[in-house]
Amino acid sequence: MPAVRLPTHVPNTVMRAETALLRATMGLPEPVQRRLAGRPVVVDGQTLATDLQLMLRLQRLAREAGAEELPLDRGRRSIVRHATVSGGRQPIGAVRDLQAGGRPARLYTPTRPTSGPLLLFLHGGGFMYGDLESHDAACRFLAEQSDVRVLAVDYRLSPEHRFPAAYDDAQAAFRWAVDHAGDLDADPERIAVGGDSAGGNLAAGVAIEAARSGLPCPWQLLIYPFVDARAETESRRLFGAGFYLTSDFIDLSDATYPEPGMDLRDPRLSPLHADLPAGVAPAYVATAGFDPLRDEGETFAAKLRTAGVDVELRRFEDQIHGFLNIVGVGRSSRAANLEIAHTIRAQLVPQVP
C-alpha cells in the first residue's frame, strides 16, 4: 500500500484524510489485514495483533519519524497528531477545563455519571511529551465507558522542568482534588489515581505518598508504567525497536528528566525501589506483551503483592506500548481499553445486588 510521509504539523484536511485512511485500513477484515501485514510477528511466545502489525508496517513505509528523532517542539506536536489520528473524536457527556493544584486540567463527565467516584489521570510521554490533547480521546473513552468522572492533569514537562517537577505536580493535583472534591461532584474518599507510562510512574508515586500521609486513595490504575530508571530487563532487550516505544526514546527521557548525577533509585523517580508503607491502594497493573516496559511493570506488581497490596495484573499479550491512545481505529486496542474501562467501573462504582 503506498504511503506518503506527512510533515509533523499538517492542515486539518490532510489530518482528516490520514485519519480516514487509517480507520479504513484498521477496519478491514482480519484475513485481509493479515495479507497486507505479512507473516505473524511472534516474539517471546506472543503474537502481535494483526491490526497493530499493519499499523506499524504503514508507519515504516511512510518513514514516519519517532518523536525522539525530531526537535522537541516538533516531537511534541507529532505525539499529539498521532494520538488524534488513532484516537478519533470519542463521545462524552461534558468536558470542562479548570486548574488543579496550579496546573491546567480537564474534567470529563460521562453521559451517565456515577455519583462519588473520580479518577485523577496522569498522561504518559516520557516526562517530555504529552498534554491534555494527547490523551483527550483516551480520557473521553475511559470516562464514557466506565461512567466515572476523569480529571486529567497537565503537569510540567522536561527538559524545561526536570525532576521532581512532574512528581510534585502530580502530588499537588491529587491533594487539590481531595480538598476540592465537592467542586468536582466527587466524594473525597473515592478519588482514585491512574496513568499510563510516565503517568503510571506518577500515579504509583501518588498512591504511595497518599498511604504514607494518610490521604484517602481507594485504587490505582497503572497502565504499562515506567517504574525503574535503572531497568535492564529482557523486555527492554526484546522490544526496544520496531514496536513504537524505542530504546532511543527511553534513553532520551533518562537524559532529560532526572537531574544529572542523581540517584536513579530515588523512589520518587523509580517507584520499584520505594519502601512501601502500609495501606497502599489496591492496584490494577496493565502491561503490553510487545512493550520494553513490560517486565518492570510486572515486577512492580509483584512487589506490591508481596507488600500485601491487593493487585490485579493483566498482560495484554498482543498489544504495544501506547495502546491506550488507540481507541478510534482498529479492534484489538479498543477491546483492551474497553476491558480497562469496565475494570474502572467494577472497582469504583458500587455494585447493585
The domain limits of the chain are 12-81, 90-348
Assign 163 to helix, strand or coil.
coil
Residues acting as catalytic residues: 197, 291, 321
Counting residues of the chain whose pLDDT is more than 70, the rounded percentage is: 96
Q: pLDDT tens digit string along 84-136?
A: 999 999 999 999 999 999 999 999 999 999 999 999 999 999 999 999 999 99
Work out whether strand 94-100 and strand 46-47 pair parallel, antiparallel, or are unpaired. unpaired
Superfamily for the 90-348 domain:
Alpha/Beta hydrolase fold, catalytic domain (3.40.50.1820)
Which amino acid type is present at position 347? Q
Report d(CA 277, CA 162) in Å as an integer: 26
Q: Could you identify the residue written with the cell 508504567?
A: 225
Strands 94-100 and 103-109: antiparallel
For residue range 290-321, list pLDDT tens digits in order: 999 999 999 999 999 999 999 999 999 999 99
E strands, the chain, in order: 42-43, 46-47, 94-100, 103-109, 116-122, 149-153, 186-196, 220-223, 283-290, 311-320
**pTM of the entire predicted model:** 0.94
User: Cell digits for 233?
Assistant: 530487563
